[in-house]
A and B are shown apart, each in its own frame.
Chain A
Amino acid sequence: MRALDRKLLRDLRQIWAQTLAIALVLGCGIMVMVGAQATQATLVQTQAAYYDRHRFADIFAGMTRAPAEIVSTVAMIPGVAQVEGRIGLQAVLDIDGMAEPATGRILSLPATGPTLNLPLIRRGALPDPSRPEEVALSEPFAEAHDLIPGSRFHAVLNGQRRELTVTGWVLSPEFIYAMPPGALMPDDRRFGLIWMGEGAAAAAMDMQGAVNELALRLTREGDSRAVIDALDTLLDPYGGTGAYGRDRQVSHAFLDGELSQLGAMAVYIPPIFLIVSAFLVNMVLGRLIAMERVQIGLLKALGYGRAEIAGHYLKLAALIGVIGVGLGWGFGWWIADAMIRLYGDYFRFPFILRDWGTRALVISALLGLATVGLGGLRAVWSSLKLPPAEAMQPPAPPVFARGMADRVLAALRLRQTTMMIFRSILRWPGRAAITLFGVSASVGALVMSYFMMDAVELLGESVFQQANRQQVTISLSQAQTESAVQDATSLPGVLRAEASYVMPVRALHGHRSRLTALQAHFPGTELARLVDDAGAVVALPVDGVVLPEMLARALGISAGENLRIEMLAAPRAVLDLPVARIIPQGLGQEVHIAAPALFAAMDSVPQVNMIHLAVQSDRMDALNAAIKETPAIAGLTDWAEVRRQFDATLSESLLTMVLIYTLIGVLIAIGVVYNAARIQLSERSYELASLRVLGFSRAEVGYVLVGEMMLLTLLAIPAGWVLGVFLAQGMVGAISTDMMQLPFHLSRRTYALAALAVFLAALGAVLMVRRRLDRVDLATALKSRA
């Protein structure tokens, strides 16, 4: 090995702790990048393969009822490769061992065997078409209730209670993310999919020779927009509820949202770490070069050229880079494995196609090395410009010009040690700035990650505490007059019942349209209310509709303009209504209107198809039992249960995330403060040792070091808060989808936690360096005035 390389390794051994601190910061960035990207690539690849192997449809459409022959008509639409019709309906399920009713979505299996959205049999078999009582269940639901093949359960089909027998467990590309209607997240216990022979389904629903759902696959050249338009026209006479592509298919849209969040994480978080590590490399290498100024002059005198000397120090930077990239790869790999397993379970992929993330590995390595290279280059550059004769002389003592700041300091009559702190910051403003920047970046990173928790909590708060104060919502199989509310009041345990009317609609403005729902709010409602992101209850205007921001944006409509609404179920009215208000609502996708305004526009008596209930908590079981026996009730949402699910998911996944982010945010703070303090110590050991010789105590001398770092940390915290606000705003933009926009709200807890974590990390780091100060040998420190 060359002598110069040996020097490199020995230099590195001197500053190994600092090197490791930087490598860890860099490694964190690389880890997030590699981990998120490998996970995303794996899931995208898996999703694509799953869709392809199981022939996931491109276009979906629903209608009240169409003759089965419609399938061959649809097949003639240009661009359509394949069509399948089926019967789908919702049913209340009565499962043994479960007090409350579950919701089932029944899907018919074509007599000739499915050709699209192929169910994947995981256990048992598909039902025998000749046995009407046989069904296959979605695996997660069957597993949750231990409904192994051969078990039986009850369902209310078309008002009739029937016993069904399980033949097998199934997964489907259509329900990777299986959301019960009206829910916020999948619920394997309360929502299941039920595949039933075509004949049996038709008989149960009175749908012989008819279908009410279509799935299509397009040809390679097929234009989905044109096909959707053709379908809408074709299906209109059959009560079409609007055709839509994969982008509006619930399972696909949620999965895609999740995947793009991962993608956003991979590009959005690492730069903070990379920038901080570039600054750290610059700071540490800058100091090393300052200390080795004489040696650099010597190397020049010996005949080493600039490029060789620059290369020597850059190798050190590269080594830090290699360690950082190596750590990042290792942990990124490990995290990707863990995340893929987690997602794989959550989404119930039947198989995983692991993408080895080669692209992420290569890109992250290049970025990592470029980062440290840049940081190093800046430090090396200035040292090379010195002529060798000058380099070999000790640098001129720093000039302490008496400026404004000094006069201010003098006027303050500070202790001399405090004065030293301020002087040092003023003397090396560049280094103070790097420390400030690094620490505020870590505060910012923490604010950004805690913000995710705030946002989700706020959503929960507004959904549960403000908007939905009812314990139970029941949906009726058919719209009824307001007297239905009176009937509901007589159900066991019901304290209060409120009417609601929800209608699937197509909202149109100009050439843009959106499939959504129209929700009518009755006067005097206290349970289910319309609430905006700030938690304020929105009073519905006497006339016109209220739109959430995202829907208004999607439709390109603003307040005062007219919105066309086509109802997609009976009575299929078409209304033109003015937009009265647009409200901020992160999860909002629906059109809202005051019930009197709606029914006046429809020229009809008020209708009810959903009823919200306040229930005596100890009577829930009686209510559940009654609902299972009431055919007029098609489904039920138990909000306490939804809330429980929400909280459980939140505390589980979010808490892990927050812990990980805290760890890496704190790592930045430690990396920055530890390095800055070490450099202070090495640069000022003479000064500090002199203080000891003069009779200052260890604590007093330590104060100079600790005081400066903590002062900078305290200054960095507010700056970090501001940075965090920007980062969180960026995050909102990066992960918001068509379906969901995070509300922008940061709690005091977030600011406080971020500040506290960074403060403690900084204190820990500087105390670690302080311990070294105690060990400094006075005699050596005074001699080696480098």
Chain B
Amino acid sequence: MARDTQALPVFRAEGLTRIYRTGAVEVRALRGVDLSLTEGEMVVLLGASGSGKSTLVNILGGLDLPTDGRVFFRERELTRASDRALTAFRRDHVGFVFQFYNLVPSLTARENVALVTEIARNPMTPEEALARVGLAARMDHFPAELSGGEQQRVAIARAIAKRPDVLLCDEPTGALDSKTGIQVLEALHEVNRDLGTATVLITHNAAIQRIAHRVVVLADGRVTRDEINTARVLPAEVSW
């Protein structure tokens, strides 16, 4: 299941550095990261806790700015964009999935998805997005009435409903048991396969790397490995 490596890059990051300052303490979360992501690609980002994975993905998604280095989305340099331009970028091109689902508790599954479809340019209907993740029957439930796996699938539906160019998932299975985790991975896999959405999937679970086209390993704020996965498997074949 190898992919055409000549495809166009969606993201290109050059020499990313991110330093957090809290009081007198300085944390170097990223120490010069170069990375690119091509159309339709599914990348698994592996690394120990604290290695800088979330920081990297947040910068790619325009949620945070690097201390140094540059990020390009297609031809546009995000690191020079205004707050307004970053907001528009997130609205039109990026879908996020977080470890703790981050659903709005006072909105039903359908309404949580509508939150995005109402402001996106060419969205699917909330119903279609929820059907894609297998939640057609639970659309009018509030988050508190859904299991963890179901909540995460709502979050995925919400992320894909705008037909984003990239899907950024920060430990989407981190809070789930392996059975529900695999259901979530299947949903992501199908989206990537059917819609061709480039996907970055953060995990510290090494078993999951087998479903990726490409695996990038981060350690202590640096990329220590970046290789094509030649033996890609379906999520159902993974276990942990």
Binding site for B on A (CB under 8 A): 2-4, 6-7, 10-11, 14, 294-295, 298-306, 308, 387-390, 392, 396
Contacts and interface: CB of A to CB of B under 8 A. Distances in A.
B200 to A, nearest CB: 14
A301 B90 contact: yes
Nearest to B120: A303
Nearest to B142: A10
B90 A295 contact: no
B102 A298 contact: yes
A10 B90 CA distance: 26
A303 B63 contact: no
Contacts of A4: 115, 118
A392 B63 CA distance: 10
A351 B55 CA distance: 77
B136 interface: no
Contacts of A6: 106-107, 111
Given A11-B106, A295-B104, A304-B119, A388 B88 contact: no
Given A4-B115, A388-B63, A389-B58, A303 B107 contact: no
A233 B84 CA distance: 80
Contacts of A11: 106
For the residues of A in contact with B, the DSSP-based class is helix
A387 B64 contact: yes
A314 B126 CA distance: 27
B87 interface: yes
Contact of B87 (A2, A300, A389): A300
Contacts of B91: 302-304
A746 to B, nearest CB: 49
22 contacts: A3-B114, A3-B115, A4-B115, A6-B107, A295-B104, A298-B102, A298-B104, A301-B63, A301-B96, A302-B91, A302-B96, A302-B158, A303-B90, A303-B116, A303-B162, A304-B119, A308-B119, A387-B64, A388-B63, A388-B64, A389-B54, A390-B64
B34 interface: no
B83 A302 contact: no
A11 B107 CA distance: 10
A305 B112 contact: no
Contacts of B119: 302-304, 308
Interface in B84-125: 84, 87-92, 94, 96, 98, 102, 104, 106-107, 111-112, 114-116, 118-120
A294 B99 CA distance: 13
Contact of B118 (A2, A295, A301, A389): A2
A305 B119 CA distance: 10
A308 B83 CA distance: 13
Nearest to B113: A3
B61 interface: yes
Contacts of B89: 303
A295 B65 CA distance: 20
A11 B106 CA distance: 7
A220 B85 CA distance: 66
List 8 A-B pairs, minimum CB-CB distance, nearest first: A303-B91, A10-B106, A389-B64, A389-B63, A3-B114, A303-B90, A389-B58, A3-B111
Contacts of B22: 396
Nearest to A396: B22
Contacts of A304: 87, 91, 119
Contacts of A306: 83, 87
A294 B101 CA distance: 11
B102 A3 contact: no
A300 B98 CA distance: 14
Given A303-B91, A387-B64, 17 more contacts: A2-B118, A3-B112, A7-B111, A10-B106, A298-B104, A300-B87, A300-B90, A301-B90, A302-B115, A303-B89, A303-B92, A303-B119, A304-B87, A306-B87, A388-B63, A389-B55, A389-B63
Contacts of B111: 3, 6-7
Contact of B107 (A3, A14, A305, A387): A3
Most buried by B among A7, A303, A304, A390: A303
A313 to B, nearest CB: 14
A3 to B, nearest CB: 4
Nearest to A2: B118
Nearest to B64: A389
B84 A305 contact: yes
Contacts of A305: 84, 87
B98 A392 contact: yes
Nearest to B164: A303
A6 B92 CA distance: 23
Contacts of A308: 119
B187 to A, nearest CB: 18
A295 B84 CA distance: 19
A389 B86 CA distance: 13
Contacts of B90: 300-303
Contacts of A388: 63-64
Nearest to B159: A302
Contacts of B115: 3-4, 299, 302
A294 B102 contact: yes
Contacts of A298: 98, 102, 104
A22 B96 CA distance: 37
B118 A3 contact: yes
A638 B61 CA distance: 90
Interface string B8-26: 0000000000000010000
Contact of A7 (B63, B94, B98, B106): B106
Contacts of A295: 102, 104
A3 B83 CA distance: 24
Interface in B43-58: 54-55, 58
Given A3-B114, A6-B107, A302-B115, A392 B88 contact: no
Contacts of A389: 54-55, 58, 63-64
A316 to B, nearest CB: 12
A304 B65 CA distance: 18
Contact of A303 (B65, B87, B102, B114): B87
A298 B107 CA distance: 14
